[in-house]
Structure 1
């Protein structure tokens, strides 16, 4: 199967590299050509050229707006037998519409939200939440298995991106709330390692207490994850989703305020873990560590695609 990959930034580059390491040739396209070569892929001159030479096309892009722009170049090359897998975090209603457009050309379209973050992508151990036809997923599975440890078929078109938004909302809520708690612990003069040990043995345990803050309190912000801008985008997509579903969302105010604050205070393009510094700024200049570790607070480099851990 000839493999094409569009969007080889933070997450896409790591996934593409897994495919290359498994011994497959990958044709890649990114707004930064160096991202393609860094992943070990062969650069394509355009999206159209890439699609014409691929049996399966993987997309890892920042949002539905970018996905739709890429589709304008992809759809003229769509044909029977082609599989397109969208690994982005996107609006489910846009996904369903694009699914219909591609189906009219005989092209299968899978929405495959990812979770596990940069570390899992590096190791090929991501979790995928897939929407679309079972037959298309089974044809795509040998490629998806190259960078994932878990693949869940969540339902028809749009289901994968819907589950992804549900997951990312919980992820954002836990991160924002834990950041607030840790700033409070610091101001209270508590030993932060002890606080985390207590939380992780108690009912407050969550992904952030287990995997993020043990590093953050040492000054390591785990660069390579979702930026504050992308996290805020995901929470807004969740709010739009539940509004369409008629679901009350009183708990969305917290992460919207926290990541909006981080953007406003200059952390827009830094990893979302720096939300703790934004809250610290408003709390008297609190930092959980004495000095950043080497590489901490480095902005994410790439074409803006999503996700870690995190993610996600």
Structure 2
């Protein structure tokens, strides 16, 4: 990318949705010297970003008319559809040649629907959900799974490189959202089964830390056992990040995808029920590692170091 292209790009980025991930992505772009347009329904958040140097917009249509590289980081597929295609949405202002980088954990079919509608305006779109959590969003080391045609992905790549170190083009439009839902299904499953195993171990008289050491030295290790349990569960921190409700939503997306193509979901269906049970029990707003607390309630034991 030459200097002229870099100068143009720096003036044309906007972020819609300034929550846990979107807010951190916007802050990183600002820290790297980009002029970032922002939109969020929370006016106080917009004021905060204005104080950081961002340009806030009162309407999506105006933001869509001004910026030709727009990142959307929103709670769910229905909100993405409304934000982009609604009567006062981004599409009412978007110009031909604009690139929409959709980073929500969304539903592949909805993504394909939006992309088809935008293509009639000569607006390009890729889906680019992320993995790695808020810390990696802050330091620009996210993993980004991308769906879309090669030309649009290449055009978006200079932006993606600012916020991620692993940029994986997984297939056509919607493939990024498919990969993200399946990744989160695996995460939800390993976290749940690790919680069950450690709760059982404690009930059988095994020290939780010692059992975790065994798991992490053997074939049972996972990101859940190596990172989430030491940092969140055994420490009893449960520091808020990605919520249980969002994880339950993502597991539901994966199970729905499986049903749509008649793929087996014996394990996935059980995992979905467990996560929904945890959310229904009042922990939806807690960090997703709090699924361990739901397991503890049922086991009537606490997963912590020290023999009972």
TM-score (norm 2): 0.90
Give the match's secondary structure for 2:101: strand
Aligned: 1:260 with 2:260: no
Aligned: 1:8 with 2:18: yes
Per the alignment, residue 33 of structure 2 pairs with: 23
Per the alignment, residue 65 of structure 1 pairs with: 78
Number of aligned residue pairs: 288
Shift of 1:38: 4.2
Aligned: 1:287 with 2:302: yes
Pick aligned residue for 1:219 from 216, 233, 236: 236
Partner Cα distance (2:48, 2:139) in 1: 16
Per the alignment, residue 160 of structure 1 pairs with: 176
Shift of 1:37: 4.7
Per the alignment, residue 115 of structure 2 pairs with: 99
Pick aligned residue for 2:69 from 37, 51, 56: 56
Shift of 1:59: 0.4
Q: Deviations over 1:164-210 (max 9, x none)?
A: 11111111111111111122223233222211111011111111001
Give the match's secondary structure for 2:122: coil
Give the match's secondary structure for 2:129: strand
Per the alignment, residue 300 of structure 1 pairs with: none
TM-score (norm 1): 0.89
Shift of 1:21: 0.8
Pick aligned residue for 2:163 from 147, 152, 155: 147
Shift of 1:236: 0.9
Q: Deviations over 1:193-238 (max 9, x none)?
A: 211111011111111001100122011213212x111111111111
Per the alignment, residue 109 of structure 1 pairs with: 125
Which 4+ stretches in 1 moved above 4 angstroms?
none
Q: Which runs of 5+ in 1 are unaligned?
A: 291-312
Per the alignment, residue 247 of structure 1 pairs with: 263
Contact in 2 for aligned 1:95/1:158 (Cα 8 Å): yes
Per the alignment, residue 306 of structure 1 pairs with: none
Per the alignment, residue 4 of structure 2 pairs with: none
Q: Which has the larger radius of gyration?
A: 2
Give the match's secondary structure for 1:11: helix
Shift of 1:289: 4.1
Give the match's secondary structure for 1:106: coil
Higher helix share: 2
Contact in 2 for aligned 1:5/1:59 (Cα 8 Å): yes
**Root-mean-square deviation (CA), in Å?**
1.5
Partner Cα distance (1:10, 1:20) in 2: 16
Shift of 1:6: 0.5
Per the alignment, residue 147 of structure 2 pairs with: 131
Give the match's secondary structure for 2:126: strand
Partner Cα distance (2:214, 2:132) in 1: 24
Partner Cα distance (1:272, 1:29) in 2: 27
Q: Deviations over 1:217-261 (max 9, x none)?
A: 011213212x11111111111111111122111111232122111
Partner Cα distance (1:79, 1:52) in 2: 6
Partner Cα distance (1:186, 1:260) in 2: 25
Q: Which runs of 5+ in 2 are unaligned?
A: 1-8
